Structure 1
Amino acid sequence: MQLQQEVSAWRPRVAGVVEVFHARFTAHAYPMHVHDEWTLLIVDDGAVRYDLDRHRRGTPGGTVSLLPPQVPHNGSAATSYGFRKRVVYLDTTVLDERFIGAAVDGPDLADSALRRRVGQLHRFLTCPGDAFEAESRLVLIGERLRALLRPRLELPGGHTASEGAGTRPGIARSLRELLDERVVAGISLLEAAGLVQAHPAHLVRSFSAAFGIAPHQYLISRRVDLARRLLLDGRPAAEAAVEAGSHDQSHFTRHFKRIVGTTPGRYARSEVPRS
């Protein structure tokens, strides 16, 4: 089997859209990682399997997958054919954090109207002159997502789903807050343990158990996310690596490729596909 890799990434001038990412992979497997934004994903060819919050998920035909921010997930091709996907990363102005738990409970949405609207959105996102049309489509998509997710918000006992998945009490949450504050500067495990008042080994185990990802993997994925934004702003790869908290270019490139599926240089040079 010949390995294939096609990647296009760009940031359109559309409110609420952080990044658009189109890719074709045959063998790339994403490690566990997190995003700050909502990941709205459609698969045009093939299928993807992934783990989200310790549950095995997939992308059956015609679905739209909505992966919430700050919840670790991975991903790989479900067959040897690979997959072709289109992703739009959305900020919380489109869908707020109340819906995180509902999305964790059911990220794969079998809704033909939503699928059609997301496909239309991608067509308009490829042309800067269609920004207003894209914004209009996005408003309808946000409305549809809220309508699909809202029935899941109320759980037995009067709790919301997001209370279970979006907030994690104790030292694991404290460490995550520290890592979020120190994405660029970084922090040693010993210093973090002192600030959180926990033994380093207990801190690592607690974080991994709570979030399904090791602390160092979480920090790396946050740095890669930051580097993606800098690259789309036109920063050189070496400069983006430093500004995202990495001072070893080869080390940074290796992690970037594992998480994104391509090197920082190729990612930055990718072109917007023709609609």
Structure 2
Amino acid sequence: MASDRPRTLISAWRPPVPGIAEVFHAHFTDHAYQAHTHDTWDLMILDDGSVDFALDRHRHGATGSTSVLLLPPGIPHDGRTVTASGFRKRNLYLDDSVLPQHLASRAADTPVLDDEQLRGRIDQLHTSLAHPGDGFEAESRLSFIRERLRLHLDALQPRAPGREANRLAAQLRELLDERTHTGLSLHEAAAILHAHPTHLIRCFKQTYGLPPHAYLTGKRIEHARRLLLDGHRPAEVATAVGLHDQAHLNRHFTRHVGTTPARYQRTRTGSRTTTSGEPAWSED
């Protein structure tokens, strides 16, 4: 029966391939991502279904298996399913050795790329990554993907300075980046930056599209993902990333990623994907 089918299928791991911070495969039917940012580039292909998302508060959509989504680092985005059957996706999180962060503004307005050749190469790379020992092949395929992505980005115009240039918001963001693990209170930040707390919040949200506490939580969850894939226990991870306890980590992690830290970590070992291409582990 349809009601007995798992709502979420997830597989995640960190391959020994330079430039790839994480591989993430998922089937979501009812999970919605809240606005958040990544430190890495998020290169995504859909295998089935449709997704609706906002990047820097501008809505976009992608359907079927022809498009490539490239979400730049540091720019807030959310995501949600469009139909009851949800969508299946495969993500590569790429660090700045693949694409430098200064190109992020070029991708901000055109995150959906209609490029079948690029899509095919990404699909082949995922196949290589699912088989340990194919590192040379994976690196080779990533090189061609990088070249293709640079062609797209070089053809786009960088976004003109605007909201990103807001000095006070940029100072707060820099402060949050420095204090991601130790944390700071709103009043501390206001005192350091000589600004009224509510003005600071409004300024940050107007500039980056999400409140500063949501940005900070997202940064911590990004760090938690890396630590979990490195094998650290969830309780240790909670402390390491600056969250109060494991329950706090569980709540925020599930909201951001769509599964619990323990279940997410479990997918890093054993087989990566089944022969059908579905993620190997499911959450009911």
Q: Give TM class, smaller chain.
A: over 0.9
Assess if the C-alpha contact under 8 Å between 1:98 and 1:162 holds in 2: no
Structure 1's unaligned 5+ residue stretches are 154-159
**Partner of residue 174, structure 2:** 177
**Partner of residue 41, structure 1:** 44
1:1-275 alignment, distance < 5 Å: 2=3, 4-61=7-64, 62-153=66-157, 160-161=158-159, 163-164=161-162, 167-270=164-267, 271=269, 272-274=272-274
Distance 1:130 1:264 in 2: 28
Distance 1:162 1:226 in 2: 30
The letter for the 2-side match of 1:128 is: P
Distance 1:168 1:35 in 2: 19
Give the direction of change, closer, same or farther, for the CA distance of 1:146–1:164 in structure 2 (3 Å limit). Answer: farther
Tell me how far 1:248 sits from its aligned partner: 2.1
The letter for the 2-side match of 1:48 is: V
Assess if the C-alpha contact under 8 Å between 1:34 and 1:71 holds in 2: yes
| SS of corresponding position for 1:84 | strand
Distance 2:249 2:115 in 1: 39
The letter for the 1-side match of 2:198 is: A
Distance 1:144 1:76 in 2: 27
| SS of corresponding position for 1:44 | strand
Distance 1:32 1:201 in 2: 20
| SS of corresponding position for 1:187 | coil
Tell me how far 1:170 sits from its aligned partner: 1.3
Assess if the C-alpha contact under 8 Å between 2:68 and 2:119 holds in 1: yes
Identity %: 51
RMSD after superposition = 1.3
The letter for the 2-side match of 1:252 is: L
**Partner of residue 279, structure 2:** none
Distance 1:163 1:14 in 2: 35
The letter for the 1-side match of 2:10 is: V
Give the direction of change, closer, same or farther, for the CA distance of 1:201–1:68 in structure 2 (3 Å limit). Answer: same
Tell me how far 1:96 sits from its aligned partner: 0.9
Runs of 4+ in 1 over 3 A off after TM superposition: 162-165
Assess if the C-alpha contact under 8 Å between 1:126 and 1:274 holds in 2: no
The letter for the 2-side match of 1:220 is: T
| SS of corresponding position for 2:69 | strand
Tell me how far 1:274 sits from its aligned partner: 4.0
**Partner of residue 156, structure 1:** none
Q: TM-score, normalised by structure 2?
A: 0.91
Assess if the C-alpha contact under 8 Å between 2:128 and 2:138 holds in 1: yes
Tell me how far 1:80 sits from its aligned partner: 1.2
The letter for the 1-side match of 2:52 is: R
